[in-house]
Each structure stands twice: as structure tokens, then as C-alpha cells.
Structure 1
Amino acid sequence: MTRTTPPDQSTTARLRAEHGSALTLGEDCDLPDDLVVEISPGGQLTLGDRVSVRRGSTIQVHPGATVAIGDDVAIGEHTFISAMVGISIGAGAALSNMVDLHDHNHRPRTVSNAPDGELVPWASGFEGAPIVIEPGAILSNKTTVTAGVRVGANALVGANAVVSRSIAPDTVAAGVPALPRRTFDGVPAPREDPRTLTVGFFGTSIMEHLEAVNAQMTAQADLPEIGSKVTVEGWSQRGWVHRLALSLRATWPHIGFDIKNHGEGGATSRDIVGIVEGDRATNGTDYDLVFLGVGINDVWRRFQNRTSEAVELDEYTRHLTGMLDQLSGYARRIVVVSETPFGPIEDPETVTAMNAELARYNAAAAQAAAAHGALFLDVWGPFTTAARLGGHPAGLWSDGVHLTELGDTVLLQQAERLLAEHRIVEKLQDYPLLERHAALTAYGPMFARYRTGGV
């Protein structure tokens, strides 16, 4: 970029003259004479008050992208910041010398990405996702932060680290890739645009788990007298889904969890197909994580002699495959949950026959999950073990189908184990990489307030 301003002008005056409304500079910034700022058409760079940048640094904003640097941020020597989507650096954060922030990568040179086979570096295009450095975070010398990563408030990243996964607030991380080493009690820091994960549940009453509600029953300071009567005022969803939601919020308090429980009592796979389609058509929700469990009513209806409502295995498989096809288009991670076995609901021989049939449906669910790259949570074994060793087999079920608190706990523990084993929540904290232009559209609202005119 050619400079047209006199060489004796201050750096701030030079930058304002070069970039006009594409650049917003706060008060009392300390910027070196050799600071390189490149802002392409449609790009926006915002610096807050008292931002300090040392010599040899470059800030590069590609078309349509945004770089937002908060108040009292310190940036060391020879640091390189390059945005094709958006990079935000929160107030009071520090980037030491030779830190590199790139919110984009070259896409692989596949036939679809480079159909003409042109031998130039940019022929395959780019993919990108935001980088968010929260307030008070410190990146030590030669730290590299890759696209889609969020570094939490007050986090301290050791020298030479490569941050390719998000780091929680109040955490010391180091290494290649950077991994948490320890946590500490951090000072209060503002939380701007906290990460929110949307988690959906599609299934039967085992997911829905309705309980009667009266406000007085949950007010510890105003519980009703023993022997008195209360009126059912409504219904609330509880069970293992509710408890898993609480567990997620307790384990990752810095993340927001938007829980959408679409479980429906009595639903067969025919019904749940409609629920999945209706949710997408009505709400258009993109999910970070989906739990899908269905099949118990498909089998049970036959043994209840409600044959018109029963769903044969072939039809069940078609329904499940269709739901997985659809959900795979807008859910980042899918977990197919096996159905829990039937408990003492009929005579032992009938229950054995019911479970033998239900096992066939679970096997089909496992195959469908594998074919779609989904995880399969097999809770059958833990339930049968708990029933066999617990001394009171009926203790897992309230009526042979629906779960007691003990049954909910068994299912909850298996769900938590799966999430921990595959580090699902940790990985979902990262922003998904998208084709460059799609990323600008998808993530644009995150940076709207930093742009001239709020667009």
C-alpha cells in the first residue's frame, strides 16, 4: 500500500489518512512508526483507548473482515494479526513478542476445491472462523493461535505454544498443542459474547420425563405441612436430561448451554421423524450437539396389542436413517442413545421376548450411527448389570419402562462418561471452520458492533 502522507506525520494521523472510516482509533494509543496496517475494501479495524503496539508488528484485515482490539491492550514486537473473518482481543489482554493470530487456513487442494488444477497457492480457497481473546488473557512469546479458537479471560499461555483448541478462563496452558496445566482464581473480568452451545434431545418419555409441579413443593422456606394437599400447577421436565444439563453448566460455567428437550411421551420413530422435521422447519436451529434415542415404543406397542402403532424393524431403520441424514446437515455432533431394556412389566417370559426384540432395534441403531459418523451410547449393558447386581431389579424402573431416579442416574453417568471420553464439549467450544465467504455471513453478527454503522 503506497503512503501519500508526509513522513513526519504521527502514526495515528498517518493511519487515519490512509484508511478513513475503515479505521477507528481510541485515545492515547501508543503506536510505532513502522506499524503496518493493511485494510482491504469492506474490512474494519477498531482500536480502543490506550492500546500499545511495539515495533515490527502487522495488522491485516481482508475484505469484509473485522479486527477489534479493546482498551488497554498491549501488543509486543513483530506480532502478526491477520483476519479473513474476525478477530477480537478483549480489554487488558496482552500479546507478547512474535505472537501470530490467523483466523483462516488454506483449504486442501482437492479436485472440488481447485477444479481447474491451477498451481497458485490460493487456488483452493480459504476457510476461516473467529478468534476471540477474552479480557485479561496473556499470550507469551511466539504463541500461535489458530482459526476458531477462544482463549478465556485471564488465561495465561506459555511461550512457543500452538493454541489449536479453546482454553477456559483462569487457566494456564502450554505446549504444542496447548493443553491446560492448571487453573487459578482469576480476578473478575467482563464476559463479552460468552460462548453458547445448543444441545438438542429427540426421543421418547425417557428423555421428556415430565414431573408434576407446585411452586410450594420446591420452596424450602415454605414447604407445605405434612399431610396437607397441594394442587398440580403444571409440568416440568426432569430426569436424566435435566440432570445432564445441570452437570454441563456446573462443569463448564464459562459456557452457555441452550438446552432444547424435544422428548415426547409415547412417541414412536414415526412420531419423532415429524418432530425433527417440524423443529427444523419452524425454528431452523443449528445444533452443536444432538442426542437421539428412539425405538422402545416401536417395540412395546406390538406387545400391548396396539399393532397399528407398532413399527417394524425395517421401517424403524428407515426413520432413524432419515433423521440422521437430516440432523447431519446442521448438527456438529450426534449421539445416538440406545434404548434402555424393559424391566419387570409383564411375566418374565414376555419381558425376555420384549428385550430380545428391542435388542435388534438397538443393533440397527448402532449400525445407523456408525454409517453417519455419529457416536453410539450403549446403555444396555450398564442397565442389565445394575439390575442384576443391585438386588432390586425393579429399582431402575418405576413401571418397567419409565426410569426411577436410580435409573436416571445410571443413564446420566453413561452420558457423562461418553462426553468426557471423547472430549466432546471441549472440542465444541471451538468455532467451526467454514468456507471464507460462508464464514463472513455466519459470524458477521459477532462483530457488527465494531463496524462503522453497525453492519
Structure 2
Amino acid sequence: MTSTPAPRQSAAERLRAEHGPALALGNDCDLPDDLVIEIDPGAHLSLGNRVSIRRGSTIQVHRGATVAIGDDVAIGEHTFISAMTGIRIGAGAALSNMVDLHDHNHRARTTEYVPTGQLVPWASGFEAAPIVIEAGAIVSNKVTVTAGVRIGANALVGANAVVSHSIAPDTIAAGVPATGRRAFDGVPVPREDPRTLTVGFFGTSIMEHLEAVNAQMTTQADLPEVGSKVTVEGWSQRGWVHRLALSLRVAWPHVAFDVRNHGEGGATSRDVAKIVEADRATTGTDYDLVFVGCGINDVWRRFQGRMSEAVDLEEYTRHLTGMIGQLSGYARRIVVVSETPFGPIEDPATVTAMNAELARYNAAAAQAAAAHGALFLDVWGPFTTAARHLSGDLATLWSDGVHLTELGDTVLLQQTERLLAEHRIVEKLVDYPLLERDAALTTYGPMFAPYRPAGA
């Protein structure tokens, strides 16, 4: 009598039995017998439908972390995926052979992180940030993707690249580090939760720049007749901040920008400091990028004889230093913007004296920025140069000697865009910031909640 051998257990059946609810496995997946999956307590791995993984690959999901792999994803041979916070691979994406995804790094062995001097590799702990590979992206052979990186939809990363900064959608990237070489017209794919950067502005009316609004004034098909009257329906913020927000959205259409303009007309540094404090107390907003600029009203009030409102240089420096220090706790990048000079608001001798005093405040702002690791955007020189050459009428850049015309706003806009490009600020901010491992789990947990069982 011969016995019938038991049917061989498939890789999917083995993994379901081994990991239980910690693994969500879709239908019709093609998985090799030697696939290694390690899921620590509190971690979760989900594989969508029709996922294909080749031999020799490993997926590690450390405690509390999440790995979410979408439908129709293909993963090549000997690929290694390791998560301490979260890794997401969108539908239809592909990882070729020997790709390495690690969303974490060892922290440096400093005395702060290893106070006892313990000589083991993990003594300093880890820092982590998510990796997101969007739908339709292709990652070629032997590519390394580091923590905090987002690879856009349809992007193609060439072989042997090291992706240490995010790659835009519909882009071919290559090199060490990988950079975009050219863009192409990508096919439509699902776009999930685009990266959002929160940008704040704290300053005076030069940032606030209110304009009267009537919808008919801006509706090209229904403009009012010349000489007719319209009713002011409200106020809207325009100026260089508004134009910069538009410029960012056009230059980075795959990124969402949450722009918050806290500029206030007539504000001194004393007032702006209160606005910064109130914003933090009431909204608790964490900013990716903040612009701070004040001082012109501190000086102007003294020349107007409004001494109770004037702010001397010592107090101004104290307020600005305090703001930069406070913002440093919850803003990833800070730019201190110098004030623009006074135009023909008084007689020439008085304006010269006002500008000489305001220049001292700008110098103090530059020193405060440097002391706190903030960038300083000096618009004084470009502004005065433009005023001198654009026209013999110095009022070209000012509407009233203080507030700016569209030309004046354009000077600020161009200088700001130049600074952002020179320091590659937006490129770096698109990356998810590295955080201590447990802090990363808390901060980035909501990104991965939809891919975990309810309540997990």
C-alpha cells in the first residue's frame, strides 16, 4: 500500500500561517519559496493583489512599522526592504534586482547618543523617515533608496543609483546621488496623498500686502465699464508673497504648498513677536519653511514721533533673536528677510537718515540669522540698484515710499527665488525629515494608518 504525499504548501499559505493578522496578503500573488518575511510585534505588512516577488528577497518590518505594497507591483531577485517607520510602494511600481530600501540609519556614535560608551553597533539608536515609491515608478538594478525619500509616479531610476533625495514624478533620474536628468509626459496614474510643505510668513505690510477685491474686477468676461463704480467686497493678500506661492505651485506641481501669510500692516518687531507666539499657542503649526522680516516700522515710528511704538535696536535684536530661536523648534528652515529701504516718503535728508538707521537694523538681523543657523536674504542692495536704474523717478518701486509697487514686489520675488534655488531649499524640504525611531513612528504613523488593520 502506498501513501499519497501531502500537497506542498505554497509560499502564501506558509506566510499566512506564520504571521497571521500581521500580514495582509492579496490574491494571485506570485511569491518564491525562499522569500524571507520578518514582522516584529506591532508591525504590519500588506501585499496587494497580483504582487510578484522573485527569489532571494527579504522584507523586514520592525516593531511598530508598516510596509504597504500595492497591486501589480513587481519585485526582482535579491531585493532587501527594511522598515522601522514605514515604506509604501504604489500600484504598478517595479523594483528590479538587488534593490535596497532602508527607511532608517544608525545615529552617529556621539557622547549624546552613547553616553556610556557601550561598544555595540546599535548603542547609538536609529533615526528613521518614510520611503514612498509612487504608482508606476521603476527602480532599476542595484539601486539604493535611503530614508526620507519619495520617488514620484512614473519616475525611472537608472541602475546603480543612490537615491538620497526625492525624485519628481515623470522624471528619469540617475547617478550618485541620483538627480533628475530629464522629464517626460507621463501617463495618468493614481496620485495618493501628495507631499505637503507648510510655508509661513511673519512680518509687516510688505508681506501682508492687502488689495481691495471685487470679483467683477478680475472676471475677464465681465469686467466693469471704464468710469463705472464697483463695491469693495473685501481684502485679499497679494504682493511678492502671493506671487511666490504661485511660483512654487507651478514649479512643483506635484507638491502641495500650505502657505500661511501672517504679515500685519504697521507691525513692529514687538508686534511680530507676539504674532509668532500666538500662532504657536493657537495652531501649533509645524513649518517646513518660514520667512521672517521686520524692522521698518520700528524705525519709522521714531521718525514719526510715535515714541511709545518705536522699537530701539537693542529691543529689536532681542525680539528677532527670540523669534528665530522659537521658530527653530518647529520650523525646518528659516529665512530672515532684510527690510527694503525707505523711498521718497519725507524730504531727502530725512529719508537718508531713516535709511542709515534701518541699515543698522538689517545688519543686526543678519547677525541674528547667522547665530541661529538661519539664512539671511539681503534684498537691500538689489532693491536700491533697481531703484537707481529703472527710472529717474525713485517712486518706481514704491507706491508711497514704504509700500511696494508691482516692480518692487518683483525685486523681492526674484531674490527669494534665487535664494531658494541656490540652496536647493525646496528639493531638500520635499524629503521627509529624519527623526529618532520612536518619534518617527509617532509622527509618520498617520501616513500608514490606512494600510493597517483598524485599531492596530
Residues 1:397 and 2:398 aligned together: yes
Deviations 1:399-429, CA, capped at 9 Å, x for gaps:
0000000100011000000001111000100
Give the alignment of 1:266-415 within 5 angstroms: 266-391=266-391, 392-415=393-416
Residues 1:421 and 2:438 aligned together: no
Aligned to 1:60: 60
Give the alignment of 1:79-118 within 5 angstroms: 79-118=79-118
Aligned to 2:47: 47
TM-score between the two structures when normalised by the length of structure 2: 0.98
- 1:221 and 1:193 map into 2 onto residues whose CA distance is 35
Q: Match of 2:341, as an amino acid?
A: P
* CA-atom RMSD in angstroms: 0.8
- 1:233 and 1:192 map into 2 onto residues whose CA distance is 37
Unaligned runs of 5+ in 1: 1-5
DSSP 3-state at the match of 1:289:
strand
Deviation at 1:7, TM superposition (A): 9.4
Deviations 1:383-411, CA, capped at 9 Å, x for gaps:
11011111221110000000000100011
Q: Match of 2:436, as an amino acid?
A: E
Q: Match of 2:412, as an amino acid?
A: L
- 1:51 and 1:337 map into 2 onto residues whose CA distance is 51
Aligned to 1:237: 237
- 1:386 and 1:209 map into 2 onto residues whose CA distance is 20
Aligned to 1:163: 163
Aligned to 2:12: 12
- 1:166 and 1:250 map into 2 onto residues whose CA distance is 18
DSSP 3-state at the match of 2:24:
strand
Aligned to 2:182: 182
Unaligned runs of 5+ in 2: 1-5
DSSP 3-state at the match of 1:197:
strand
DSSP 3-state at the match of 1:310:
coil
Aligned to 1:147: 147
Aligned to 2:192: 192
Aligned to 2:250: 250
DSSP 3-state at the match of 1:453:
coil
DSSP 3-state at the match of 1:376:
strand
DSSP 3-state at the match of 1:325:
helix
Deviations 1:133-168, CA, capped at 9 Å, x for gaps:
000000000000000000000000000000000000
Aligned to 2:441: 440
The 1:335/1:313 distance shift into structure 2, 3 A limit, reads same
Deviation at 1:297, TM superposition (A): 0.1
The 1:7/1:306 distance shift into structure 2, 3 A limit, reads farther
- 2:72 and 2:453 map into 1 onto residues whose CA distance is 21
Q: Match of 1:224, as an amino acid?
A: P
DSSP 3-state at the match of 1:105:
strand
Aligned to 1:3: none
Q: Match of 2:199, as an amino acid?
A: V
Deviation at 1:123, TM superposition (A): 0.4
Aligned to 2:3: none
Q: Match of 2:317, as an amino acid?
A: T
- 1:386 and 1:45 map into 2 onto residues whose CA distance is 58
Deviations 1:274-315, CA, capped at 9 Å, x for gaps:
100000000000000000000000000000010110000000
Deviation at 1:454, TM superposition (A): 5.1
- 1:23 and 1:158 map into 2 onto residues whose CA distance is 31
Deviations 1:11-38, CA, capped at 9 Å, x for gaps:
1110000000000000100000000000
Deviations 1:68-97, CA, capped at 9 Å, x for gaps:
000000000000000000000000000000
- 1:129 and 1:7 map into 2 onto residues whose CA distance is 43
Aligned to 1:265: 265
Q: Match of 1:338, as an amino acid?
A: S
Q: Match of 2:432, as an amino acid?
A: Y
Q: Match of 1:12, as an amino acid?
A: A
The 1:7/1:267 distance shift into structure 2, 3 A limit, reads farther
DSSP 3-state at the match of 1:201:
strand
- 1:175 and 1:413 map into 2 onto residues whose CA distance is 30
- 1:120 and 1:325 map into 2 onto residues whose CA distance is 36
Deviation at 1:186, TM superposition (A): 0.4
Q: Match of 2:449, as an amino acid?
A: A
- 1:175 and 1:215 map into 2 onto residues whose CA distance is 50
Q: Match of 1:237, as an amino acid?
A: Q
- 1:8 and 1:164 map into 2 onto residues whose CA distance is 42
The 1:7/1:165 distance shift into structure 2, 3 A limit, reads farther
Q: Match of 2:272, as an amino acid?
A: I
Deviation at 1:8, TM superposition (A): 2.6
Q: Percent same amino acid at aligned positions?
A: 84
DSSP 3-state at the match of 1:275:
helix
Q: Match of 1:453, as an amino acid?
A: A
- 1:454 and 1:188 map into 2 onto residues whose CA distance is 33
Deviation at 1:453, TM superposition (A): 1.0
Deviation at 1:193, TM superposition (A): 1.1
- 1:381 and 1:86 map into 2 onto residues whose CA distance is 46
Q: Match of 1:158, as an amino acid?
A: G
Deviations 1:251-286, CA, capped at 9 Å, x for gaps:
000000000000000000010111000000000000
- 2:415 and 2:194 map into 1 onto residues whose CA distance is 28
- 1:132 and 1:241 map into 2 onto residues whose CA distance is 30
Number of residue pairs aligned between Structure 1 and Structure 2: 450
DSSP 3-state at the match of 1:452:
coil
